[in-house]
Chain A
Amino acid sequence: MKKTILALASLLAVGGLASCNSDANKMKVGLITLHDDNSTYDKNFIDAFEAACKAKGVKAVIKTGVDEKPECTTAADNMVEDGVKLVFADSFGHEPYLKASAEKHADVQFCHATGNQAHTYKLNNFHNAFASIYEGRYLAGVAAGMKLASMNTDHKIGYIAAHPYAEVISGYTSFFLGVRSIVSDVTMEVTHTNSWYDETLEGIAATTLINNGCKLISQHADSWGAPTVCEEKKVPNVSYNGSTESRCEDTFVISSKIDWQPYFEHCIDAVKEGKAIETDYTGTVATGSVKVTDLGKKATKGLNIEAKLTEVKGKLADGSLKVFDTEKFTVRNAKADASPFSKAGFITMDDNGKLTGYQADVDFDEAYTGDHEAVVTKDGKTYFDESSLRSAPYFDIVIDGITVLDDTKAPSAN
């Protein structure tokens, strides 16, 4: 017994010596995440956060697995008590709870990714951020279009969408427009899983779309469900939030993703220099927030997609190309029930079905009423001005060429 105690004590002593606190004087920056790094969505934040903190020489404090409940307020409060000067949270539902902490701590800055209420809360220390990921999806769409054009098959593609929600609709529309910029007669089928992460449902959805004759699949959902099915059936796949090439080397085409590092660094700098952080920040291709991954080696061999992407990326960055240019799409079939958000009364179009006006639901309210005109004309271009009235997307019209199928349901045998 004595020996054990001795051994234990010496171990403790060594441990004590080893962990000298070298970064006690560093500024502390906190990140609250919904899951941990086993989720691709949260991993994307955690990796960017650690990289940003390292680059800026601040101490990273990370709290993972924080539900969208008052425990988010507690987590933020605890961080502030421990000296954190800047708190980030990564999940949509964290917003009201992070705000509750922001109200209590006026001298600490709170930044909430993907949220949409900072501009209505009107707090000086609470901010929203998103990225113009529609540009990234457009780029991915261009790559997918070139792949599709090379395949010599029907020009029909499929898309597995999570929730019928502006962020998702904006995403698949921009992807579709990217494909159509290469293949003019393409059509797309969309099915919703009503979940951000459901491996089984996403797999079923992919199978359904492939059986419907879709020759290329993309998704806005976080699991390996769809890419795996595509690999099995040898159908090219465009992913989101990261490359799936490691397990799907034959079919992985490209993936778009948001890189949060520029935003984190931007906010850290702002706090260090005592500058105000924007209420709504939208990272773009130009700020380095919107990215596409490397192209799949096997699936895009010999297609010279890289050069085309560089060209389109340049146009997006300098503003000469607008993803939602109203010349590029029509909305004849936009129906009131296409989305719970897009109410028929808010859309105006001309006789050719071209979008001329849209009241977008920018200020969050229970009835999702449109409150801001989103179609603008600038420098001779008329376009749907996505992510400028607030950072979170609000394009939620189902445009012509896209067919929304019934939701994917779990097999009843379960």
Chain B
Amino acid sequence: MTEKKEKTPLFHVVKRSNIPLWQSILIRLGFVVGAVLVGMLVLLITRGINPFEALYEMFRGSFASPNRFFNFLKDGALLLIVGLALVPSFKMKFWNLGGNGQILMGALVTVMCMYYLGNILPAGYDWLIIICMFISAVLAGAIWALIPALFKAFFNTNESLFTLMMNYIAVGLVSAFITVVSSGGGSHFIDPDMICAHGRIPQLFGKEATLIVIASLIILAFMIYYLRFSKHGYELSVVGESENTARYVGINVKKVIIRTILLSGAICGIAGFLISGAITYSVTETSAANMGFTAIIAVWLAKFNPFITAATSFFVVFVTTGMGQVQLAFSDVLKNNASGDIVMGLIYFFIIGCEFFIEYKIIWNKKSKNPLENVISEPTEAPALEAPEPQAEAPAKEEK
């Protein structure tokens, strides 16, 4: 019994006091890259796909041709816009899970403007339609976010559930609109050439991507300024740290919550405006392409830093597009998109897991049969450390 007591555990866990931003991001990125590699390994073991070829295809997905590269830019910039919309609300610890719904509402009113105004206005008034599209999309996104924000501010309801449920209402509204416009056809979809012929946002330099990238850069610049240099940005981060502190220093918490969420929803609305007005000229229940959720990962990876969100957004798109290309290239063994989902799932899983390593650090105890030697022994060889590695997460998580 006494011997057991003296036995030192293999490692112990210490809370990190302060970790620099670059270091925490490096840890996250390391885990993400690890997740991709594990994903490749899964493909190798289950499907016999050569990981080098798979990695090559993964890069081809975004960079094989100008066409693919512009698609990559477009998708990355769109995700960035949604990510930037989420940054202020997440920074305030308001968990806005309603990105999808806010985008959808923006997209819906955009298409409604194109359809109804396009029918009324004579040709040549596309600019007027586009202005109406923009204003109404911003308002629609903002209102969709405002409703849960008001309830949060005045009744302290749970914003995660509320925003989540607003997504379903938005899907329902879009579905209803499609049913009305497609006038009872067997196909439940909007033909762009029939419904959205007017008010299309012109392409800049012949590419869809140009406008989206410019829009994302403008919003990025604004967001960096807003969060870092404006009073609003300061206030919302104080509210995020502690509502009581905010109240004590005289910040009107309700006002800050509502104002921030309005901004968040409005930017999501802009994303919807761009999707429907400049890319698809149509709206479906899945117009938001789940970006409201995907962006959360990008934002989380970036630790709510708008500048780094730009990098992580493009990275997430790179992985998704890349896995799509892997599926295409190996479609004789990969019958569906599940492989891409597995790799994305691994990334999410690793990110959640790595939060632990950011909060805590693991200190390996030197191993020796003679407890006295512990004090003076040299660090053991690397292979000795290898064995407990997989177990490190499990006990550690419990402690957390």
Contacts and interface: CB of A to CB of B under 8 A. Distances in A.
Interface size class of A (residues with CB under 8 A): 35 or more
B158 interface: no
A38 B192 CA distance: 29
Interface size class of B (residues with CB under 8 A): 35 or more
A317 interface: no
A337 to B, nearest CB: 11
A75 to B, nearest CB: 8
B230 interface: no
B124 interface: no
Given A1-B385, A165-B186, A12 B51 contact: yes
B335 A64 contact: yes
A64 B340 CA distance: 12
A61 B331 contact: yes
A82 B329 contact: yes
A15 interface: yes
Contacts of A64: 327, 335-337
A163 B65 CA distance: 41
A92 B186 CA distance: 9
Interface in A42-77: 46, 59-65, 67-70, 74-75, 77
A62 B192 contact: no
Contacts of A46: 335
Interface string B57-71: 000000011011001
A340 B336 CA distance: 36
Contacts of A16: 50, 52-53
B331 A60 contact: yes
A64 B280 CA distance: 20
B67 A69 contact: no
Interface in B269-318: 279-280, 282, 284, 286-287
Given A78-B68, A96-B191, A37 B337 contact: no
B286 A62 contact: no
A79 interface: yes
Nearest to B286: A67
A340 B185 contact: yes
Contacts of A67: 284, 286
Contacts of A19: 48-50, 53
A78 B386 contact: no
B189 A93 contact: yes
Contacts, number: 107
A92 B338 CA distance: 24
Interface in A8-26: 8, 11-12, 15-16, 18-19
A1 B187 CA distance: 56
A162 B90 CA distance: 43
A96 B193 contact: yes
B382 interface: yes
A59 B189 CA distance: 32
A168 B383 CA distance: 66
Contacts of B382: 1-2
Given A70-B279, A74-B71, A63 B331 contact: yes
B194 A366 contact: yes
Contacts of A68: 189, 284
Given A36-B335, A67-B286, A81-B65, 13 more contacts: A2-B382, A11-B44, A12-B52, A18-B50, A36-B336, A61-B328, A63-B328, A67-B284, A68-B189, A69-B282, A75-B328, A96-B193, A366-B194
Interface of B: 41, 44, 48-53, 64-65, 67-68, 71, 183-189, 191-194, 279-280, 282, 284, 286-287, 324-325, 327-329, 331-332, 335-338, 382-383, 385-386
14 contacts: A15-B48, A15-B51, A62-B335, A64-B327, A64-B336, A64-B337, A68-B189, A70-B279, A78-B328, A82-B328, A162-B186, A165-B185, A165-B186, A168-B186
Identify the 10 closest CB pairs spanning chains A and B, nearest first.
A165-B186, A36-B336, A340-B184, A163-B186, A62-B331, A93-B189, A15-B50, A64-B336, A65-B337, A19-B50
Interface of A: 1-4, 8, 11-12, 15-16, 18-19, 36-38, 46, 59-65, 67-70, 74-75, 77-79, 81-82, 92-93, 96, 162-168, 340, 366, 368
